[in-house]
Amino acid sequence: MSKRLTLKIHGLVHGVGYRYSSQSMAKKKGYIGYVTNLDDGTVELVAEGKERSLKQFVNWCYNGVGPAIVHKIDQSWSEATGEFSDFVIKS
Protein backbone atom coordinates (compact mmCIF):
# COMPACT_ATOMS: atom_id res chain seq x y z
CA MET A 1 0.00 0.00 0.00
CA SER A 2 1.37 3.43 -0.93
CA LYS A 3 1.74 6.13 1.68
CA ARG A 4 2.76 9.76 1.67
CA LEU A 5 5.51 10.82 4.04
CA THR A 6 6.13 14.51 4.70
CA LEU A 7 9.35 15.37 6.50
CA LYS A 8 10.63 18.63 7.93
CA ILE A 9 14.34 18.17 8.46
CA HIS A 10 16.09 20.40 11.01
CA GLY A 11 19.83 20.97 11.34
CA LEU A 12 22.70 21.89 9.05
CA VAL A 13 20.90 20.88 5.86
CA HIS A 14 21.29 23.90 3.54
CA GLY A 15 24.34 24.22 1.31
CA VAL A 16 25.59 20.68 1.91
CA GLY A 17 23.97 18.82 -1.00
CA TYR A 18 21.06 17.53 1.06
CA ARG A 19 18.43 18.05 -1.65
CA TYR A 20 20.55 16.45 -4.36
CA SER A 21 21.51 13.43 -2.26
CA SER A 22 17.96 12.86 -1.08
CA GLN A 23 16.64 13.17 -4.64
CA SER A 24 19.17 10.60 -5.83
CA MET A 25 18.24 8.15 -3.07
CA ALA A 26 14.50 8.72 -3.56
CA LYS A 27 14.77 8.00 -7.28
CA LYS A 28 16.88 4.91 -6.57
CA LYS A 29 14.14 3.63 -4.24
CA GLY A 30 11.36 4.49 -6.72
CA TYR A 31 9.68 7.24 -4.68
CA ILE A 32 7.80 10.14 -6.20
CA GLY A 33 7.50 13.60 -4.65
CA TYR A 34 9.83 16.51 -4.02
CA VAL A 35 12.43 18.08 -1.76
CA THR A 36 12.94 21.80 -1.15
CA ASN A 37 14.79 24.23 1.09
CA LEU A 38 12.54 26.32 3.33
CA ASP A 39 13.23 29.90 4.41
CA ASP A 40 13.52 28.86 8.07
CA GLY A 41 16.67 26.80 7.36
CA THR A 42 14.93 23.42 7.22
CA VAL A 43 14.35 21.05 4.31
CA GLU A 44 10.88 19.80 3.40
CA LEU A 45 10.69 16.40 1.76
CA VAL A 46 7.50 14.78 0.49
CA ALA A 47 7.74 11.20 -0.77
CA GLU A 48 5.20 8.62 -1.82
CA GLY A 49 5.98 4.92 -1.87
CA LYS A 50 5.66 1.72 0.14
CA GLU A 51 5.32 2.44 3.86
CA ARG A 52 7.98 -0.01 5.03
CA SER A 53 10.53 1.36 2.58
CA LEU A 54 9.68 4.97 3.51
CA LYS A 55 10.31 4.17 7.19
CA GLN A 56 13.81 3.02 6.24
CA PHE A 57 14.24 6.21 4.19
CA VAL A 58 13.66 8.28 7.35
CA ASN A 59 16.69 6.59 8.92
CA TRP A 60 18.71 7.37 5.78
CA CYS A 61 17.61 11.03 6.02
CA TYR A 62 19.26 11.26 9.45
CA ASN A 63 22.64 9.92 8.32
CA GLY A 64 22.75 9.55 4.53
CA VAL A 65 24.12 12.94 3.48
CA GLY A 66 27.83 13.20 4.36
CA PRO A 67 28.37 16.76 5.65
CA ALA A 68 24.77 17.34 6.81
CA ILE A 69 24.04 17.40 10.53
CA VAL A 70 20.42 16.49 11.20
CA HIS A 71 19.12 17.42 14.66
CA LYS A 72 15.48 16.43 14.29
CA ILE A 73 12.98 15.24 11.69
CA ASP A 74 9.26 15.97 12.03
CA GLN A 75 7.18 13.26 10.30
CA SER A 76 3.66 13.31 8.98
CA TRP A 77 2.01 10.29 7.34
CA SER A 78 -1.05 10.18 5.10
CA GLU A 79 -2.48 8.24 2.17
CA ALA A 80 -0.66 8.66 -1.14
CA THR A 81 -2.40 10.97 -3.59
CA GLY A 82 -0.58 9.93 -6.75
CA GLU A 83 -0.24 13.57 -7.79
CA PHE A 84 3.49 13.21 -8.57
CA SER A 85 5.14 11.47 -11.51
CA ASP A 86 8.80 11.90 -10.50
CA PHE A 87 10.94 12.99 -7.56
CA VAL A 88 12.11 16.57 -8.11
CA ILE A 89 14.02 19.36 -6.41
CA LYS A 90 11.89 22.46 -5.96
CA SER A 91 13.66 25.82 -5.74
> CATH assignment of 2-77?
3.30.70.100
**43 contacts: CB under 8 Å, gap ≥ 6:** 7, 8, 9, 13, 14, 18, 19, 22, 35, 36, 37
Please choose, from the candidates 78, 82, 88, 91, the residue with its C-alpha nearest in 3D space to the C-alpha of residue 34: 88
To the query of whether residue 37 is one of the catalytic residues in this protein, the response is: yes
To the query of whether residue 59 is one of the catalytic residues in this protein, the response is: no
Catalytic member of 4, 19, 52, 59: 19
What's the CA gap between 90 and 9, in Å, rounded? 15
What's the CA gap between 39 and 27, in Å, rounded? 25
Catalytic member of 4, 37, 52, 63: 37
pLDDT in tens, 9-59: 999 999 999 999 999 999 999 999 999 999 999 999 999 999 999 999 999
Q: How confident is the model at residue 78 (pLDDT cuts 50, 70, 90)?
A: very high
Q: Please, is 5 exposed, middle or buried when counting C-beta atoms within 10 Å of its C-beta (0-12, 13-18, 19+)?
A: buried
